[in-house]
Structure 1
Amino acid sequence: MNFTRTLFPLSMLLLSGCVVGPDYQKPDTALPAKFTESKTSSAENVTLNPWWESFRDKRLNSLVHQGIGENLSVLTALERITAAEQGVVVAGAGSLPSLGASAGATAKGGHNNGTGETRTLSAGADASWLLDFFGQYRRAKESANASLDAAYDNVNVARLAYLSDLVSSYVNARYYQEALALNRKNLESRRETLKLTNEIKEAGAASSLDVLQAEGLVNQTLADLPALETGFLQSANHIATLLGVPAGTITASLTKGSAQPMPRYSTRVGVPADLIRNRPDIRSAERLLQAATAQIGVAEADLYPSIELGGSIGASRIFPGATNATSWSFGPSLTLPIFNGGALRAQVKIARSEAEQQYLAWKSTVLNAVEEVENAQSALIRDGQTVAALRKVVQSYEQTLNLARESYRGGASTILDVLDAERNVASARLSLASAIRQLARDYVSLNVAIGGGAEIGSPTVASR
Structure 2
Amino acid sequence: MKRAALLALAALGGCVSAGERADAPPAAAVVPPPAWRTALNGADPVTADWWRKFGDPALAALVERALANNVDIAIAAARVEEARAAEALSRAQLLPQVGGTLPETQGQSVSALGQPSRAISAQPSISASFDLDLFGRLRLASRAARAQLLASEGARDTVRLATAATAASGYITLRALDQRLSIAEATLAARNDALRIARRRYETGYSSRLEYRQAQAEYAATEQLVPAARLAIARQENALSLLVGDSPGPIARGLSLDRIALPPIPAGLPADLLRRRPDLYQAEQTLVAADLSLDSQRAAFLPNLLLTGSAGLVLSSALKEPIGIFSLGASVLAPIFDGGRLAAQEDAATARRDQAAFAYRRTALTAFREVDDALAGVARTAEQARALRDQVAATRGAVSNATNRYRAGYSGYLEQLDAQRSQLSAELSLVQVEADRLTSFVSLYQAMGGGWR
Flag whether TM exceeds 0.5 (same fold): yes
The question of 1:194 aligning with 2:188 is answered no
CA distance in 2, matches of 1:454, 1:34: 26
Distance 1:42 1:59, change over 3 A: closer
Instruction: Give the aligned partner of residue 225 of structure 1.
Output: 226
RMSD value over aligned CA atoms? 2.6
The question of 1:419 aligning with 2:414 is answered no
Instruction: Give the aligned partner of residue 338 of structure 2.
Output: 340
Shift in Å at residue 272 of structure 1? 2.4
Instruction: Give the aligned partner of residue 274 of structure 1.
Output: 272
Shift in Å at residue 65 of structure 1? 2.2
Of residues 282, 285, 288, the one that matches 1:284 is 282
- Show the 5 A alignment for 1:10-159: 24-25=19-20, 29-32=30-33, 34-35=35-36, 37-38=37-38, 46=46, 48-108=47-107, 115-159=116-160
**Mapped contact 1:43–1:271 kept (Cα < 8 A):** no
**Mapped contact 2:87–2:142 kept (Cα < 8 A):** yes
Distance 1:193 1:156, change over 3 A: same
Cα distance per residue 1:60-100 (max 9 Å; x no partner): 01222233222222222222222222222211111211100
CA distance in 1, matches of 2:57, 2:40: 34
CA distance in 1, matches of 2:76, 2:259: 30
**Mapped contact 1:180–1:225 kept (Cα < 8 A):** yes
Distance 1:121 1:45, change over 3 A: farther
CA distance in 1, matches of 2:398, 2:40: 46
**Mapped contact 1:289–1:358 kept (Cα < 8 A):** yes
Cα distance per residue 1:291-350 (max 9 Å; x no partner): 111112211211111111101123232345667444211021111211222222332232
**Mapped contact 1:32–1:272 kept (Cα < 8 A):** no
**Mapped contact 2:305–2:332 kept (Cα < 8 A):** yes
Of residues 451, 454, 463, the one that matches 2:452 is 454
Cα distance per residue 1:380-420 (max 9 Å; x no partner): 21111111111111111111111111111111111122222
Distance 1:398 1:234, change over 3 A: same
**Mapped contact 1:160–1:448 kept (Cα < 8 A):** yes
CA distance in 2, matches of 1:414, 1:230: 35
Instruction: Give the aligned partner of residue 9 of structure 1.
Output: none
Distance 1:403 1:23, change over 3 A: closer
CA distance in 1, matches of 2:239, 2:452: 21
The question of 1:312 aligning with 2:313 is answered no
Give the residue type in structure 2 aligned to 1:60: L
Residue-pair matches, total: 429
Shift in Å at residue 111 of structure 1? 8.4
With normalisation by structure 2, the TM-score equals: 0.87
**Mapped contact 1:174–1:261 kept (Cα < 8 A):** no
CA distance in 1, matches of 2:330, 2:442: 63
**Mapped contact 1:261–1:440 kept (Cα < 8 A):** no
Instruction: Give the aligned partner of residue 394 of structure 2.
Output: 396
CA distance in 1, matches of 2:354, 2:123: 54
Cα distance per residue 1:208-236 (max 9 Å; x no partner): 32222112211222212122111111111
Instruction: Give the aligned partner of residue 25 of structure 2.
Output: none
Instruction: Give the aligned partner of residue 14 of structure 2.
Output: none
CA distance in 2, matches of 1:57, 1:427: 28
Is there any run of 5+ residues in structure 2 with no aligned partner, and where?
Answer: 1-16, 22-27
Shift in Å at residue 269 of structure 1? 4.5
CA distance in 2, matches of 1:253, 1:49: 23
CA distance in 2, matches of 1:145, 1:371: 30
**Mapped contact 2:45–2:266 kept (Cα < 8 A):** no
Distance 1:335 1:41, change over 3 A: farther
Instruction: Give the aligned partner of residue 356 of structure 2.
Output: 358
Distance 1:40 1:313, change over 3 A: farther
Shift in Å at residue 359 of structure 1? 0.9
CA distance in 2, matches of 1:80, 1:359: 23
CA distance in 2, matches of 1:422, 1:116: 115
Is there any run of 5+ residues in structure 1 with no aligned partner, and where?
Answer: 1-21, 456-464
Distance 1:43 1:109, change over 3 A: farther
CA distance in 1, matches of 2:320, 2:239: 76
Shift in Å at residue 29 of structure 1? 2.7
Instruction: Give the aligned partner of residue 214 of structure 2.
Output: 213
Cα distance per residue 1:349-395 (max 9 Å; x no partner): 32222112111110110011111111222222111111111111111
Distance 1:85 1:310, change over 3 A: same
For 1:100, what is the secondary structure of its paired residue?
Answer: strand
For 1:421, what is the secondary structure of its paired residue?
Answer: helix
Report percent identity of matched pairs: 28
CA distance in 1, matches of 2:264, 2:45: 16
CA distance in 1, matches of 2:368, 2:18: 28
Distance 1:358 1:272, change over 3 A: same
Shift in Å at residue 49 of structure 1? 4.7
CA distance in 2, matches of 1:40, 1:100: 66
Range with bigger deviation, 136-145 or 117-126: 117-126
Shift in Å at residue 108 of structure 1? 4.0
Shift in Å at residue 258 of structure 1? 2.9
Of residues 348, 364, 367, the one that matches 2:365 is 367
**Mapped contact 1:100–1:125 kept (Cα < 8 A):** yes
Give the residue type in structure 1 aligned to 2:226: L
**Mapped contact 1:171–1:260 kept (Cα < 8 A):** no
The question of 1:429 aligning with 2:438 is answered no
Instruction: Give the aligned partner of residue 166 of structure 1.
Output: 167
Distance 1:427 1:363, change over 3 A: same
With normalisation by structure 1, the TM-score equals: 0.85
**Mapped contact 2:263–2:441 kept (Cα < 8 A):** no
For 1:180, what is the secondary structure of its paired residue?
Answer: helix
For 1:253, what is the secondary structure of its paired residue?
Answer: coil
